[in-house]
Structures are given as structure tokens and as C-alpha cells.
Amino acid sequence: MDVTPSAAGPVVRLIEEFHKLPGIGPKSAQRLTYYLLRAPEEEARALAEAILEVKEKITFCSVCQNVTDRDPCLICASSERDSSIVCVVEEPLDILALERTHCYKGFYHVLHGVISPMDGVGPEHLKVGELLERLKDGSVQEVILATNPNLEGEATAMYLGRLLRPLGVRVTRLARGLPSGADLEYADDLTLTRALEGRQEMS
Amino acid sequence: MTTPRIYKTEAIVLRQRKLGEAGKIVTLYTPNYGKLDAVAKGVRRPKSRLAGHLEVLTHTMVMLAQGRNLDVVSQAQAMESFASLRADLHRLSRALYAVELVDRFSPEGAESYHVFQLLLATLRRLAAARNVDTVLRYLEMGLLSLAGFQPQLAHCVRCERSLPAAPNHFGPAAGGVLCPSCEPKVAGSRPLSLNALKVMRLLQSGSFGEVSRVRIDPGLGQEIEMHLRAYLVHVLERDVRSAAFIDRLRREDFWQPAGVSS
């Protein structure tokens, strides 16, 4: 990376560390470094400790595989949730998005990735075995496949659908259609077809 | 070729990777500009007007604006989105293999009209054909020929004498068929049945229509696939990753897919 050669060693090191983070370019890395250089020591210490803490304390929930600091996680430990439904998502961040709706009261399962044959990622790299294990006792009646509606997400959903249906569990897929605030004019034909197929009676 | 600042082209989307907060870099295969990467801004947001038109395996018409580094997609309109490919895991896995293979064979910006046509025809065939694996073998042989790596199937690649009408060997490193007397002198060669040789010759010189009329039983299909795959790994100097997923689906074989005989 292009750093001023006159900068002191520790400064260069911090710039390089920031540069490794997603979405941080060389200029942002420099800005962050010089901000921390001028910031009070407590602030820098708090940041460093927070980073270490997530790495030390955060593990995967043994039930849903979400990231958590206690096992089972808050969602899995809740007694107010509907234990007959499991919603399968790609990443922990997807749970945050679904929780924002306040509509879903079941449990989750995080796959930590998606089948992507071109990148060499197959089902064996995902938390699929853990999902099958969870379904064994028969208490789960419905699995919602909430992977992203793109190529890899659809491939993963199809694969899981084939795997789960013989277990006698109801397998559903999130609806796919037009997002609110969209323009029909710009919708692609695949989305429009799905939207037509999934049309609903006006109430 | 000098390209205008804003240009329009057909393309097939080979690959995507994430870029920044909501963008993606899409790898496009175009008939006139070859393989190129372009930035698609904001396509990971649900309201994106481009996202659905730039999915992998879409035949699309794009408007590109030259950028400082990468070109930027300003408009896109899907022409064919191959819905039947996406609805069947067997067909989908083959289609992903097809685009990965084209991606591996193509250096950035190389002239590409025939490769584009071959890929487009392959996707259309995969969406409809009965024997999806024959479609892939035809693609493999076609790409090898277009890239100048056509395997020698007419005579022995070592002694150049004509081949006996008996089992021979195929040597990936030698670049073709070896007759029984040359075979022991070349390492890494594997037995090649007469039927497999005949089908491979047809794949090399025939039209897809001719190839698809030949009945290829599963054992013969596997033999040809093994030879071509070994040769591709030798030429590309790496594995084609999507092949592992095809193998896995075959192994697990949850169900016999409707209309697809493998």
C-alpha cells in the first residue's frame, strides 16, 4: 500500500490494519489512524478492548449457530417463541433484518454462507448437518428457507428443499416479488412473473 | 478497438462479487469486447433497478459507461433469464459449470464472438435438452478448439500413425490419443474405448444436432467426461470448481430429475 515513507512504524502498521477491513480504502485508513492518534487514550483503549472482547467472548450458539455471548443465545433461550417454526438464513445479519419486522416469532438457523459451486463452496461447508440434527426430534413442523433470492440463494434453497422434504417437515420459501416503492417499468421479467404468480386477493 | 464513452452491448453474466456497501462487480461476457468486469452500483439494495437484470446466467443488454478503472453499468435489460435453468438443481449445476469454464478459458478483453455464441447456445440447450451432460461435453470440446487446444483424435499423437480399431489410450499431457505401442512410453495416459473415441471425434467435428442424436449410455458418458476433465485440468492448470457440485448431486441423487437422463 502507498503510505508516506516518513510516517512512523506503528502509524504505518495501524493504517495497514485498517486497510484490511472491508470498505476501508487507503485514504479512510489514514484518516481513522490520525483520528485515533489525536483521540484521548481511553477512547483508543475502549476500541481495542471491544475488538478483543468480541473475539474472545463471542461464540456460535449451539442451537441456531448465530453469533452469541451466551449459549444458547437469547432467541433460542426465549420461552415466548414458537418452537414449531425454524427460519433458515444465510448470515447472522439476516436475523437482525428479520427481527426488525417484529412479525416473526419462531426460531432461526444460520447457515454461515451459501452454496456457491464456482467458489468451491458446497453444502459440506455450511451448517446443514446441524440443521438436520435439529429437525430429528420432530418438534419442528415448518422450515422457512429465507436465503437471498439470487442465484446462490436459490440453489441453496433448492438443495435444502430436496434434503428436508423427505423428513416430513413443511418446507416454505420467502415470497419473491416487487419491493415496496418499486417501479413496474424497471422490474425484470423473472420478478414480475413471481409477483404475478404470488398475487393475492384484495381484502 | 477504441470504445465510445458510453456503449451498449449484449452480455451474459458469468460471475458477481460484492463491492463496497451495496454494489457488485459483475463479470460479463460480450460478443465484441470479450470478457469484462463492470461495476453495478446499488444492486444489493432491494429497490435496485439493475439487480434482476444482472443475475448470473442472464443474457442481458447493458449500457456501459467508461470509468477510470472499471466500466460502470448504467442500464440493463434482461433478454433471456433462463427460468427453467434456475428451477432445476441439475440443470443449474451444469449451467454454473459452463459459465465457470468460459470464465477460466477467457483472458480479459480477448476477441470472443464464437465463444459468446457457443455459451449462449449452451445455456439454451441446458434449459431444454434431455441429456445435459452431452451439452457440457460439446461445450468443452468447442472451447478447447476455439482456444487452440483441440486434442489430437485423428491419429496417434506420438508416432502419428493411424489408430487401430481397438481400445487405445488418451494422454492428457500428450494432447491426444496414443496407440497401443506408444502408450507405455507416456506417463499418465488412461485407457480409451473405441466407442468413446468415436463420440469424442463427433464432439470435435460434428454439429450439436448430430451429437445429440447419438445414444450415449451412462458408462460411456462417464468415460468421456473423465478424459475431457483430465485434459481440461491439464490445459487450465487447475480444477474447475463447479464440477465438485455436479459430482455431489449425482452421488446424492435425491430423485431422478424429470426429463434429464444422465
Q: Cα Rg for chain B, rounded, in angstroms?
A: 20
- Give the domain CATH number at B22: 2.40.50.140
The shortest C-alpha distance from B46 to chain A (Å) reads 6
Domain that holds residue B53: 6-81
Nearest CA in chain A to B254: A162
Query: Residue A153 and residue A95: Cα distance in Å, rounded?
Result: 16
Answer yes or no: do B81 and A188 touch at CB < 8 A. Answer: yes
- Number of domains forming the structure of chain B: 2
My answer on whether B108 and B189 are in the same domain is yes
- For residues A151 and B86, the answer to whether their CB atoms sit within 8 Å is yes
The shortest C-alpha distance from B108 to chain A (Å) reads 18
My answer on whether A89 and A161 are in the same domain is yes
Q: In this structure, what C-alpha cell is assigned to residue A73? A: 443465545
Which ipTM did the prediction report?
0.78
Domain that holds residue A85: 81-173
A183 lies within 8 A of chain B by CB? yes
pTM of the model: 0.83
- Number of domains forming the structure of chain A: 2
Residues B62-85: pLDDT tens digits? 999 998 889 999 999 989 989 888
The shortest C-alpha distance from A58 to chain B (Å) reads 24
* DSSP 8-class letter at A149: S
Residues A161-183: pLDDT tens digits? 988 888 889 999 998 888 887 78
Least confident of A33-47, A137-151, B104-118, B136-150: B104-118
My answer on whether B62 and B88 are in the same domain is no
Of A122, A150, A189, nearest to B244 by CB-CB distance is: A122
* Phi, psi torsion values for B216, nearest 5 degrees: -115, 115
Q: Is the dihedral of CA A188, A194, A197, A203 positive or negative?
A: negative
pLDDT at B256: 44
What's the length of chain A? 203
My answer on whether A161 and A94 are in the same domain is yes
Of A122, A163, A166, nearest to B245 by CB-CB distance is: A122
Instruction: Give the residue ranges of chain B where pLDDT is below 70.
Output: 1-2, 254-262
My answer on whether B169 and B49 are in the same domain is no
Residues B91-124: pLDDT tens digits? 999 999 999 999 998 887 777 899 999 999 999 9
* DSSP 8-class letter at B53: G
C-alpha angle A21/A26/A30, rounded to 5°? 95
A100 lies within 8 A of chain B by CB? no
My answer on whether B45 and B100 are in the same domain is no
My answer on whether B239 and B196 are in the same domain is yes
Closest C-alpha among B98, B101, B252, B16 to residue A148 = B16
- For residues B82 and B59, the answer to whether their CB atoms sit within 8 Å is yes
Under 8 Å CB pairs connecting chains A and B tally to 72
B260 by Cβ neighbours in 10 Å (0-12 / 13-18 / 19+) ranks as: middle
What's the length of chain B? 262
Write the CB contacts of B221 (distance below 8 Å, at least 6 apart in sequence). Answer: B131, B133, B134, B137, B262
* Phi, psi torsion values for B150, nearest 5 degrees: -55, 120
